[in-house]
Structure 1
């Protein structure tokens, strides 16, 4: 196969690894001369030996010819170049889908931090980081990110942590079910990472049955479904529950798999109960405030008394256009 990259022709060939050493691997590409894969061209990630990424004798793979060794006329191969092409393509796809993804902070400069995504190094300006953490505090941490710019020609990848956090928080509606990972356990509950946001699953919200030792139910690293009980945006506090997702009391202790299978169904029932309670509360309020001039219609819609409406309907000619506040 022939690739054209930046007006340069590059060749892609099939080859079989038949020998490895400390510097790379010898590859049979059925050519008259031998071909060599240097260790630095074996992966998009930094490795010390080709076997770290599964390059062993007998492996048949697609390689890119990137040059020739003048000393012995052997061809120089690369897997790294192919992986870079695929990584850029993947980034363009993720940007088009406008997804939130995780990036590991691997470096910093005076303007922001460098994050690793899909094997590529991208830049996150400090102005696009939602927390007030320093670069040193963010090093080696994973940040939720969204793409701002993907430009392979200029080798520019720019991310925003602020946009990712805003997107994640917009989905934290009361009663919604989200996937989380247990970060740490405390005597009073478990801290759960839900898309880059830490929520508290209080010990009283794990199960209807009493939980005396959280470690008997949850462990750091566990993945689970939780329901949002409350979200204080100003303080950045999120309260979670698995108790509300139990089909029968104690299921979270006896059969957590069943709880996660029925999570959406149980959450929907919970939201319906909340909606019914709110409707009843509104109805009770109107019974004690008849002077408000409002009533509930037969379908539960709050509105003015029918007798107060002009027979010919409402005059909407002077209503101003809606504008953003």
Structure 2
């Protein structure tokens, strides 16, 4: 519409700034004056107003102590400054934005967990400097270029456990590009999206308006990071963008040839300044076009028109036992019934939301006659879940859920409260497997089909597991080498060895490589499901075959034997094989000795099995050691001979 000024719905004070200003005003009145460390918010007009109310400004916190009341700014403060104020007995009123407080806790927690905090934002911004002070070795990156430079410094940087957060006013594109690089390159990363929802909405709304207008005006203090970001975002879509601090900076030249102008404001801009700029812009455009529309008419046009199904964001203004009243910037009074706030019948509204909270809802009913609108947060959350599910199909996103039931043909997985049917063929289990064993298990899946009207969702676990297995196989084959060690799981067993999964690829451990001891079957030393430490003996990439070993090759069994025994020593041995000429016995794992048939008993025997059996433990005397040929002679008879001689003498 010619001559229109489109006013952004979210322009002006955000919840955190409004809260900080209200706390400062209240504290100044109640305490008869107080202090702020630097500017409470990035707006010179508001700071001057606060100073007139008795909120004095200082840049030297070390001069404050007992008897002084200090209001901590919305951006937060350096931890050492807060600790110093507390130590000196100053009374602190914490006006730090709750979103910033949450990030401070995440940064401090990362250090407690042995992780390094990564902060994406402007390094010299007060908020970022304050966040960085909550841990010992923070990493602050202004964007993806800084991230790439840090990763290029040292290969070992990729293995450092990281916790990634963002400045509340960070441009989302910068944050997402940065964390995507970190997630791809680093091995142990936790990512928290800490960009303020109000900031994101303000930026998105500004971009949308800028694409529709001839001139875009952004109001805010020049020191304000979020105002600067709004200006940068608008400049991508609008050819003429002007950043001003108040109406005095507007010029008629701004609006030459302008038919539609846009107006938004940073989070630290008071409503009074926005209204003054709005009125001035309207008058300038009217003057340019000969229009005589009043400011009141234009302002009324800026009010929202509510329709059933609209998503609206508002501020909680009052709470009763049965409902929550919300200001959504419309002519109608808006409220949320308790039943539309939560599913919990025992919950109290004041335990869920608080006055001045920002809340996102959907309009469920509009009564223009009586002038009210009914809202629902519960239904909006349900809508968002369905939208996320539908988007997941398009993006092929991997989602996580819990198996809640088995039914005919497959299983049911709960994903964010939505029931997803997974056919048996897509469960990732072998044909005919007992799917009920999966109930209560956490699984990852891809949604393959969605019909919101029929509330039908179909997914596949197999596609995720196969993709993960394929990636793991590629990783194994790209890095495998002889001698490399892996921790594997026994998948199956045969008479001649076991097959071990070393991370998506199976290798075979021959029975002779399972143990230094002589064994008949692999089941003597392991079973399916056991974890084994294995190493690569040989591999063939073309045939996709890998030979693995378990025996510790750093140990020489013969050396172990020689260090432990000498000729004449008595040893307890295990019979491992019977031959016609005698029996072989294991002295230490990997070293056998021979008991000749003539040394098995103190009498003549026809065959060794008349006296011995495989697996039997007997005591023997070591009668000879051939170190060159690594052969050992053993004798049972040598231990029996003295007793036989005594019996002969008595007779």
How would you bin the TM-score normalised by the shorter chain?
0.3 to 0.5
Larger radius of gyration: 2
TM-score after normalising by structure 1: 0.45
Greater helix share, 1 or 2?
2
TM-score after normalising by structure 2: 0.25
Query: Which structure is richer in relative contact order (CA contacts within 8 A, separation 6 or more)?
Result: 1
Greater strand share, 1 or 2?
1
